[in-house]
């Protein structure tokens, strides 16, 4: 193994509303001085919050993070259903939400908690015959996606807020803030849509913020709002978590001596370490990341190996 650190690292960014996740990736590439930057799950342009990025070799670590649970806060407007299930889409239907109560909404949210079969939003990134669903919708095609099993661990709804009719659609303003903890692959827009459908009013999101992705929270994220000059390259690089520090946040770990570290780095088959886990971070006795391995069988199987100098 080299005496230097493993290349790259993990950066937790607080994405502002407006730019796409790919815009943020491009900005980080410029500031970090590397072309190799990846993400552990995108956010819509309207959404804000936690976007976890990997730099250089550490993009390979994101594979082991993308399946972790996530948390969101959002605002749901009742009485208006849209094509995109958010405020940016064309209105599909309107219903007068007057008569809706806090208890009604709480009961409907309770029915959407636990293991549920969710049809992803039509403008999701799910592929249909090799093309993203959102691309087909924007090309004018009708898209029907099959349901998928997701898990909603928490679906908390705040009190309803009422306001005068919106001039754009004439529907009385009726909104509520929600907080959800969900499995990877859950669409919060689809939760809002299904909540409105259950209540008979229709609904869509007007705001969305990811507050947590796996173990990474918005409270530790680097804010990238405002002009690019507001964050310097040095400030950004100072916030990059080294690969070992990042990996031990979301993976179990085993520590090995130099001889075992070299053997793993060079692809040798070694006896399992006994954790029984399918994804384990291997660190050497100096705390450097060596590899991520599958330790569920009789021998270790390397899933991602840090480059050897």
CA distance 182 to 194: 15
What gap in Å lies between CA 195 and CA 93, rounded to an integer? 15
Location of structure tokens 């993308």: 66
Residue of 93, 92, 89, 91 whose CA lies nearest to 138: 89
| Greatest pairwise CA separation for the chain in angstroms | 72
Which residue(s) pair with 181 in the sheet? 71, 154
Token pair 């990996």 is found at 247
124 by DSSP, 3-state: which?
coil
Catalytic option among 14, 44, 56, 284? 44
How many residues belong to the chain?
A: 309
Contact 281, 289 (CB under 8 A): yes
Per the annotation, the verdict on 44 as an active-site residue is: yes
In sign, the C-alpha dihedral spanning 195, 200, 204, 205 is negative
Report the DSSP pairing between strands 253-256 and 280-284: parallel
Is 175:77 a contact under the CB 8 Å cutoff?
yes
Query: E strands within the chain?
Result: 9-15, 37-39, 48-55, 70-78, 80-82, 91-94, 114-118, 127-128, 131-132, 148-157, 161-165, 172-182, 203-213, 216-217, 222-223, 253-256, 280-284, 289-294, 301-305
N-terminal to C-terminal alpha carbon distance within the chain: 6
Active site members: 44
């Amino acid at each position: 193994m080299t005496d230097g650190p493993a290349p790259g690292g993990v950066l937790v960014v607080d994405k502002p509303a407006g730019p796409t996740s790919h815009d943020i990736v491009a900005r980080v590439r410029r500031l970090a001085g590397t072309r190799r930057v990846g993400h552990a799950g995108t956010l819509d342009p309207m959404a804000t919050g936690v976007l976890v990025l990997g730099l250089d070799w550490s993009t390979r670590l994101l594979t082991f993070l993308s399946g972790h649970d996530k948390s969101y806060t959002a605002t749901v407007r009742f009485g208006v259903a849209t094509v995109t299930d958010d405020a940016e889409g064309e209105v599909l239907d309107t219903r007068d939400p007057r008569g809706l109560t806090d208890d009604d909404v709480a009961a409907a949210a309770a029915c959407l908690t636990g293991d549920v079969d969710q049809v992803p939003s039509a403008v999701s990134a799910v592929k249909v015959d090799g093309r993203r669903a959102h691309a087909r919708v924007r090309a004018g095609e009708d898209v029907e996606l099959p349901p998928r099993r997701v898990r909603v661990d928490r679906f908390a709804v705040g009190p309803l807020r009422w306001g005068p009719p919106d001039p754009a659609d004439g529907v009385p303003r009726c909104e509520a803030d929600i907080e959800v903890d969900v499995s990877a692959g859950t669409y919060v827009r689809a939760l809002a849509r299904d909540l409105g459908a259950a209540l008979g009013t229709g609904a869509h999101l007007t705001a969305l913020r990811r507050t947590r992705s796996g173990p990474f929270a918005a409270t530790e994220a680097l804010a990238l709002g405002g002009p690019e000059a507001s964050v310097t390259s040095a400030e950004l690089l100072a916030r990059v978590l080294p690969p070992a520090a990042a990996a031990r946040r979301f993976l179990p770990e085993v520590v090995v001596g130099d001889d075992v570290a070299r053997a793993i780095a060079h692809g040798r088959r070694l006896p399992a370490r006994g954790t029984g886990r399918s994804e384990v971070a291997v660190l050497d006795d100096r705390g450097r990341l060596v590899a991520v391995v599958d330790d569920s069988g009789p021998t270790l199987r390397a899933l991602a190996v840090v480059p050897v100098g």
